[in-house]
């Protein structure tokens, strides 16, 4: 089965950092031991659950940002007109 994190193209280091954060969270907040396999499964679960939604929201936010930037460029352009 194709892993979700490859769909999002996380490097091995990024994936390992996320898994370590999950393991640490479970130890500190829930007083539970979670191994590498468990943390990988949990990461995959949440990426499957919300990954696309977060990605799409980021695209929507970027579109709004660039739309405003283009409007500013347009306003600046017409502000340069003489007469």
Task: Give me the phi and psi of 10, to 5 degrees please.
Answer: -80, 140
CB 18 within 8 A of CB 10: yes
- The total number of residues shown for the chain amounts to 83
Question: What is the domain count for the chain?
Answer: 1
Joined tokens for residue 45: 């679960």
Distance of CA 13 to the CA centre of its chain: 15
- pLDDT level of residue 5 (50, 70, 90 thresholds): very low
Average pLDDT, the chain: 90
- What are the pLDDT digits (tens) for 21-36? 999 999 999 999 999 9
Domain that includes residue 58, residue range: 4-79
* The pair of three-digit structure tokens given for residue 39, joined into one six-digit string: 């943390």
pLDDT in tens, 55-76: 999 999 999 999 999 999 988 8
Round to whole Å and give the CA distance between 61 and 77. Answer: 24
Q: What angle do CA 57, 13, 52 make, to 5 degrees?
A: 20
Determine the pLDDT at residue 83.
63
């Amino acid at each position: 089965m194709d892993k979700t994190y490859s769909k999002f193209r996380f490097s091995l280091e990024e994936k390992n950092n996320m898994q370590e954060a999950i393991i640490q969270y479970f130890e500190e907040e829930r007083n539970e031991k979670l191994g590498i396999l468990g943390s990988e499964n949990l990461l995959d679960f949440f990426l499957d659950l919300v990954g696309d939604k977060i990605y799409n929201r980021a695209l929507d936010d970027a579109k709004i940002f660039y739309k405003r930037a283009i409007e500013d460029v347009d306003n600046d352009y017409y502000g340069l007109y003489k007469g």
